[in-house]
């Protein structure tokens, strides 16, 4: 089988503002048809990276190819083949849904089917200002897809949405991938990335600190086992049993961090001390644990 060239190739990308590197020697690849996540705290360099990929900013050094094109030199050719999610400020309050789609469609592209596909048919004549948060996200996605792009860039598209609207947006992103479109998703919601992304790159302070599938990153960087159970009786002796690294107890709950067969040792020690909690369980490490370990940042939960 012949390996396919990546849809996006980034090699040593750097971008400086006033002499300070905002993106510093970042390298990664994105394959056709995948959802690729760019994760990182606010100010990490995610948006600047994506702007360089779209030809909106010129890289100071490094090599970038998107669909085989240089985003800066070939920007006019590239923009006919990619889609980008608008921010709310990009649409006037009075523009109607149908008007927005017709305005952004190029070469008489058929936009009407998008009204049905993204649940906007009943909102065709509704002004943007009168749409709910979830409906606005549907419109932004429809606008990004109106010219049938090969690659779509979505930058923090679920920020500010309530949990229900956020999950609607997740369904939209999954639908985009099912069309065969490659998606680059910028987010700082770890739950979102773990659910949607085939692979992710974590950027912190302008540098790439990890890349891979969410499952691989969890296996590589969150190797500790986390055991949890309820107890109002102090259990300080658990910190001394084999394979336990640390423990904490508060508000009737106990969390033990350890490795290997720590669950078996915790269970045996509890029974030996006359305790038999009925909620003893191992809590799976997730992408948020990896993110916190690699960046040391506290962020909004997804």
Q: What is the pLDDT of residue 301?
A: 41
Average pLDDT for residues 146-150, to the nearest whole number? 91
CATH of 8-81+149-220, one of 3.40.50.2300, 1.10.3720.10, 3.40.50.300, 2.40.50.140: 3.40.50.300
What CATH architecture applies to the domain 224-284?
Answer: 2-Layer Sandwich (3.30)
CA distance linking residue 42 with residue 23, whole number of Å: 13
Q: Which residue stretches of the chain are H helix?
A: 46-53, 75-79, 97-104, 112-117, 133-145, 163-178, 190-196, 214-221, 262-272, 287-295
Does residue 88 surpass a pLDDT of 90? no
Note the pLDDT tens digit of each residue in 256-286: 988 888 899 999 999 999 988 999 998 877 8
| Contact by Cβ (8 Å): 264, 244 | no
Q: Could you give the angle at which helices 97-104 and 133-145 cross, rounded to 10 degrees?
A: 20
The residue ranges of every structural domain in the chain are 8-81+149-220, 224-284
Q: What is the pLDDT of residue 87?
A: 63
**Bigger pLDDT: 197 vs 87:** 197
Q: What is the pLDDT of residue 34?
A: 96
Note the pLDDT tens digit of each residue in 12-59: 999 999 889 999 999 999 999 999 999 998 889 999 999 999 999 999
DSSP 1-33: -PPPPPSEEEEEEEEEETTEEEEEEEEEEE-TT
* Ranges 28-42, 64-78, 159-173: which has the least confidence: 159-173
Q: What is the pLDDT of residue 82?
A: 95
């Amino acid at each position: 089988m012949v390996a396919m060239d990546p849809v996006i190739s980034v090699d040593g990308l750097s971008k400086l503002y006033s002499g300070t590197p905002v993106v510093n020697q970042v390298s990664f690849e994105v394959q056709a048809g995948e959802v690729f996540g760019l994760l990182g705290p606010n100010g990490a360099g995610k948006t600047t990276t994506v702007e360089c990929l779209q030809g909106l900013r010129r890289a100071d050094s490094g090599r970038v190819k998107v669909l085989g094109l240089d985003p800066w030199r070939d920007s006019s050719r590239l923009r006919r083949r990619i889609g980008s999610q608008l921010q709310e400020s990009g649409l006037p309050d009075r523009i109607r849904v149908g008007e927005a789609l017709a305005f952004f469609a190029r070469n008489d592209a058929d936009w009407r089917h998008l009204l049905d596909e993204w649940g906007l048919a009943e909102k065709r004549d509704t002004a943007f200002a009168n749409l709910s948060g979830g409906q606005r996200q549907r419109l932004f996605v429809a606008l990004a897809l109106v010219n049938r792009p090969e690659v779509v860039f979505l930058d923090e598209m679920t920020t500010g949405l309530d949990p229900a609207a956020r999950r609607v947006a997740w369904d939209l992103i999954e639908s985009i991938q099912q069309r065969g479109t490659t998606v680059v998703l910028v987010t700082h919601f770890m739950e979102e990335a773990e659910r949607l992304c085939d692979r992710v790159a974590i950027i912190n302070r302008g540098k790439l600190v990890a890349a891979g599938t969410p499952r691989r990153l969890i296996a590589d960087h969150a190797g500790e086992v986390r055991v949890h159970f309820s107890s109002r009786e102090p259990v300080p002796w658990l910190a001394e049993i084999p394979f336990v690294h640390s423990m904490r107890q508060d508000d009737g709950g106990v969390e033990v961090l350890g490795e290997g067969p720590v669950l078996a040792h915790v269970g045996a020690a509890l029974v030996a001390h006359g305790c038999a909690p009925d909620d003893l369980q191992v809590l799976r490490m997730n992408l948020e644990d990896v993110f916190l370990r690699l960046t040391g940042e506290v962020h909004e939960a997804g």
